[in-house]
Amino acid sequence: MAAANEKITADAIEATEFMDLSRKYRVTGVPKTIVNETIEILGGLPEKMFVRQALDMPEEQGT
């Protein structure tokens, strides 16, 4: 997603190495995705579902 849009940055973070961050975002299972400090996505999702949630899209836009 980051490569496709200049407005998007994407960080892959090793959870056990950055425990302060893992605690901050309450990472108890992986993968866990945080978007703009507010959206939380637990687990791995199909592409469209993931992007829809990450971009906080209303349900009807994706169907």
Partner 1 sequence: MGLLSPQDEATLKQHLSAITLPVQLVLFTQTFGGSESGDVAKQILNEIASLNDKITVVEKNFVLDSEDKAKYNVDKAPAIVILSDDTDTRMRMYGAPTGYEFVGLVEAIIVAGTGKIDLDPETMKWVQAVDKPTHIQVFSTPT
Footprint on this chain of partner 1 (rule: CB under 8 A): 1-18, 21-22, 25, 27, 30-37, 47-48, 51-52, 54-55, 57, 61-62
Distances (CA, A) of 12 to 6, 20, 35, 44, 59: 17, 15, 12, 14, 27
In angstroms, give the least distance from the CB of 57 to partner 1.
Answer: 7
In angstroms, give the least distance from the CB of 59 to partner 1.
Answer: 13
Q: Are 41 and 54 in contact (CB under 8 A)?
A: yes
Residue 37 vs 59, nearer CB to partner 1: 37
